[in-house]
Amino acid sequence: MPDYSAPSDAPYSAEEVRVTSSRAGVSLAGTLTMPHHAAGARVPAAVMITGSGPQDRDEATPAIPGWRPFRQIADALGRRGIAVLRMDDRGVGGSDVGPTGATSADFADDIRAALAYLHARDDVEPSRLALIGHSEGGMIAPMIAETDPRLHAIVVIAAPSRTGREVSDQQVRAALMARGLTGEQLESEIATNDRLRDAQVAANPWLSFWFVHDPIATAKRVSQPVLIIQGATDTQVSPDQAEELAAGFRSGGNRDVTVRVLPEINHLMVHDPNGSFAEYGTLQSLSVSPVVLAAIGEWLEEKLG
């Protein structure tokens, strides 16, 4: 069982909580890090949203041993006086599996339940709530923001601006080119991959949703302040998508959109001059870069007060 307790020097406590998604009745296990505060005071808070695939509340995944970014971000924000709620994905850790065929829209409902949980607490300030989403979580955060005017701000990290089909096309081509394929051989391999992938998409509700979801259309309906963080060496979500996404938010009339494209930061929020997802296992450190932690912390501190 991972250790979700607060460090001994932390100016916050770590409380085990359960959140129930009302639509599906799924019970989710999580940790709420609560800054020490005066009796009767209310603190600002953020809910974290994991990326794709089964991940626990730290966003840990067996595919990348030792990577626990949400624990680091929660710690950094707790030291700035911001509470953080992070939860195990459905079917991971202490969370229920839930119905089969769940999509990003269902995961958005789980986060809405987490926000409702925070609204009901007497030690959280309901007018100062934010979302922090990474990768798929960065796609989900705007989906929630467009339907919840009470939400104060969102942080989207390594979030796509394009449909899943476009992102997948780019990733497949990059992976095959990294293997040295060019010309007719490259195009033949891509065509074969497309046929196999399309069959998978047709049979998988999550993939079907992701393949057609348009993040720009959603962004146009978001009015809350937005921070976009993007690694300049990210090869899973290309860096140019950060400005595309920002343009989408702004085109809907949002005047509070900040973009930070950070040099030598990869998709994992880790320092990495190369950024190849095939080489994550060779990185000397899987710690979230202090530059990323500072960018998130300083912006949320300003927006949440």
Q: What is the DSSP string of 21-48?
A: ETTTTEEEEEEEEEE---TT--EEEEEE
Check if the beta carbon of residue 221 is closer than 8 Å to that of residue 146.
yes
Residue type, 261: V
Instruction: Report d(CA 243, CA 251) in Å as an integer.
Output: 12
Q: What is the pLDDT of residue 179?
A: 86
Residue type, 197: R
Instruction: Report d(CA 225, CA 184) in Å as an integer.
Output: 46
Residue 276 sits in a domain whose CATH number is 3.40.50.1820
Q: What is the pLDDT of residue 277?
A: 84
Residues 25 and 156 in one domain: yes
Q: Is residue 299 part of a domain?
A: yes
Check if the beta carbon of residue 115 is closer than 8 Å to that of residue 47.
yes
Q: Is residue 1 part of a domain?
A: no
Residues 252 and 140 in one domain: yes
Q: What is the pLDDT of residue 143?
A: 98
Q: What is the pLDDT of residue 171?
A: 82
Residues 283 and 207 in one domain: no
Q: Is residue 182 part of a domain?
A: yes
Residues 6+ apart with CB under 8 A from 241: 159, 160, 161, 162, 230
Helix (H, G, I), strand (E, B) or coil at 117: helix
Q: What is the pLDDT of residue 214?
A: 97
User: In the numeric block, which tokens belong to residue 250?
Assistant: 């702004």
Residues 255 and 292 in one domain: yes
Residues 43 and 190 in one domain: no
Check if the beta carbon of residue 142 is closer than 8 Å to that of residue 215.
yes
Q: Is residue 6 part of a domain?
A: no
Residue in the structure block whose two tokens are 């348009």? 214
Residues 221 and 133 in one domain: yes
Residue 284 gets which letter from DSSP?
S
Q: Is residue 4 part of a domain?
A: no
Residues 110 and 44 in one domain: yes
Residues 206 and 89 in one domain: no
Residues 79 and 194 in one domain: no
Residues 97 and 155 in one domain: yes
Residues 71 and 158 in one domain: yes
pLDDT along the chain (305 residues), means of 10: 93 97 90 96 98 97 95 98 98 95 96 97 97 98 97 98 91 86 91 91 94 97 98 94 98 98 98 91 95 98 94
Residue in the structure block whose two tokens are 């796609």? 139
Q: Is residue 284 part of a domain?
A: yes
Domain that holds residue 168: 164-212
Q: What is the pLDDT of residue 1?
A: 76
Residues 114 and 242 in one domain: yes
- Beta strand 12-21 with 26-35: parallel, antiparallel or unpaired? antiparallel
Among 39, 60, 61, 59, CA closest to 50: 59
Q: Is residue 7 part of a domain?
A: no
Our measurement of the distance from residue 33's CA atom to the centroid of its chain's CA atoms, rounded to an integer in Å, reads 18
For 132-184, the three-class secondary structure string (H helix, E strand, C coil) is: EEECHHHHHHHHHHCCCCCCCEEEEECCCCCCHHHHHHHHHHHHHHHCCCCHH
Q: Is residue 63 part of a domain?
A: yes
- 292 CB-side CA count, 13 A: 30
The total number of structural domains in the chain stands at 2
Q: What is the pTM of this model?
A: 0.94
